[in-house]
A and B are shown apart, each in its own frame.
Chain A
Amino acid sequence: MEHSSLAGRIFRGVALTLILIFFMFPIVWIFLMSFQTNEQILRIPPRILFEPTFANYEALISGQLRTAAGNLQISFMRNLFNSVVLSSAAVLLALLLGVPAAYAFARFKFRLGESIAFTLLSFRFAPPLLVLLPLSLYYQELGLNDTYFGIVWVYQLIALPLILWIVRGYFEDISPDIEHAYRLAGHSWREAFTRIAVPLAGPGIAAAGLLSFIFCWNNFVFALILASADKQPVTVGALAFVTASGIQYGQIAAAIVLSVTPTLLLALYAQRYLVEGLSLGAVKG
């Protein structure tokens, strides 16, 4: 890297800047929008310089949406809370079920093993709406409609296959002999799983957990059908900004900023460990 020429360095800088602008532009624009009123946003041509307002954030946090047609109650903070609860619970449950399952698929050959693994993956093929219609009927029968548990359960369709398949690959990369050596030193396979396999696959488990958290967080249609207002996450809650007197772009932008923040923080936090863990994972001799 240190040996590249000046022209090469300049080219790399320019290319990186262009890519950064391309990818970051929507996020920056939304961030700017969140500090503007609807009138400022809809002005043509749009301006980069404007007088920032915190009205959008105020409205979201206080739950009072002022529109031309009058005051509107919104429960954005409640939605945000729901999102956190639902996504975290779904990922935790999926990790609890998926990591041991991934280990089993990676280490043991058993009857129908591959078929089961593939079936779990195939849950991701089906359009969610196809699953939802029969599911909502079942949920009504079972009394799971509009419960946190019901939504966490249906989120397993998103999180479980993802975790299973990613973590399985990580387990397969760990030489079984490392666990064998541990077992010969006087430990059961259960200990070999918790003390050797899981820590060594740690970065993979973290990556899979993070990805499925993001997918759960961004899910819209499951909660739209299966939950009512007080259990709905931000993705569904954002519908409230499409009001009778028009679409509240400023508040939508602020809502996006607020709802992106937790996943962004989580990703930044986890990134450190992901990189660290991956460089430690020199498993193969």
Chain B
Amino acid sequence: MDMLELRGIDKVYRSRGKAPVHAVRALDMAVEKGEIVALLGSSGCGKTSTLRMIAGFEDVSAGSIALGGRRIHELPPARRKVAMAFEGYSLYPPLTVRENIAFALKSAQLPRAEVTRRVDEIARLVEIEDILDSYPRAISGGQQQRVSLARALVRDADLYLLDEPMGQLEPQLRAVLRGRIKSLLAERGMTAIFVTHDQTEASALADRIAVMEGGVLQQFASEKELKGRPANLFVASFIGEPPMNLLDAGVTQSDGGFRLSVGTDMAFDINGAGLDSEAAKALAGAPQVRIGIRPQKIVVGTGDVRVKVVSNQWLGDQSHVAGDCGGRMLIAVTSGRVAARPGDIVPFALEPRHLHIFGSDGTCIRHAEVS
């Protein structure tokens, strides 16, 4: 059964004298028990609003929220059985770190020994054992963030909401904590939603990722599916590092298929037999499409697309080669080192089967074949 169910959630912020802001639109989402979900998007995409509506600090303008079968969107925060780590940490200043973490457990009237045991355990997990007796003002931002995380994870709740849980941590620690938190959540079957704008974090921690933009859920799927089968142009360009190469292409019908031409420099033949009928119909009706190809799918050194190298960076384990092809920028990523200097002419190979094709409204007409 679904643990959390969001149905038709709308959030409109109204303030006098200003145009209303539609922060979240018609959001439908279901999270299974024990699942870890990332809300991914740029600032102002509605991800934090969504989190705060689930926690109960914002009313929903329309729609309903159910948690563990209970309708919670009209309950006060105290009765929703939700724990949250805040982006601004929001520790209680007059209490020590230990008291901050133990606070909710004490409120729930757990025995003292149990409280101590759990606080010590979670403190070890996020590496804050040595600051348990400090006050929040005396510790660093990164430490405060870990305390805030510990304060949420130590509780017994139906759902854990983590708002940018690791934004302030150093990269090494972040990687370690991600692993530990993921195994803690999995071990206890905890359901969690976290907000992030870091794709690596989302991929590493989450079972499924909800990509949001402009208050609209663009796609809610696993990382693999987001990369391989992006629902639309936004997801395609947002997910992946470096971003997908996107080119405008004209569509002409050729015998039994379609020919996509990018200017006079590139042309791709799409076999009509490999297309489903919807995609064929969409392509037949569209004079112009956008095609996308992942930088990792471009082969450098062979092929018939000639590019002039603009930059060539060796990152230690991969090369990023950026090239200019008739005024369009193409980026290729290869695992080997490429011997090319800026200004050199290098062949790139782009295979038709690796192309994602998007209609003019941004929806995906055809995904690349999974290889």
Contact = CB atoms under 8 A, between A and B. Distances in A.
A183 B78 contact: yes
Interface stretch (A15-23, A132-140, A186-194): A186-194
A189 B103 contact: no
Nearest to B168: A285
Interface string A171-199: 00001111011111111110000001001
B76 A188 contact: yes
Contacts of A6: none
B90 A187 contact: no
Contact of B90 (A180, A189, A199, A280): A180
A172 to B, nearest CB: 15
Contacts of B80: 184
A109 B78 CA distance: 22
A283 interface: yes
Given A280-B94, A282-B137, A285-B144, A186 B88 contact: no
Contact of A280 (B15, B57, B93, B108): B93
Contact of A187 (B82, B88, B107): B107
Contacts, number: 72
Contacts of A284: 88
B141 A285 contact: yes
Given A185-B103, A186-B78, A282 B86 contact: no
Interface residues of B, number: 30
Nearest to A183: B77
A284 to B, nearest CB: 8
A275 to B, nearest CB: 15
A278 B262 CA distance: 66
A185 B154 CA distance: 11
Contact of B92 (A176, A182, A188, A189): A182
Nearest to A200: B93
B358 interface: no
Interface in B119-159: 136-137, 141, 144, 151, 155
Interface residues of A, number: 24
A169 interface: no
B194 interface: no
Interface string B80-101: 1011101011111110000000
A150 interface: no
Interface of A: 109, 175-178, 180-189, 196, 199-200, 280-285
Given A183-B76, A184-B55, A187-B78, 9 more contacts: A175-B88, A177-B88, A178-B90, A178-B92, A181-B151, A184-B84, A185-B104, A186-B78, A283-B93
10 contacts: A109-B15, A178-B91, A180-B77, A184-B56, A184-B83, A186-B107, A186-B108, A282-B136, A282-B137, A284-B88
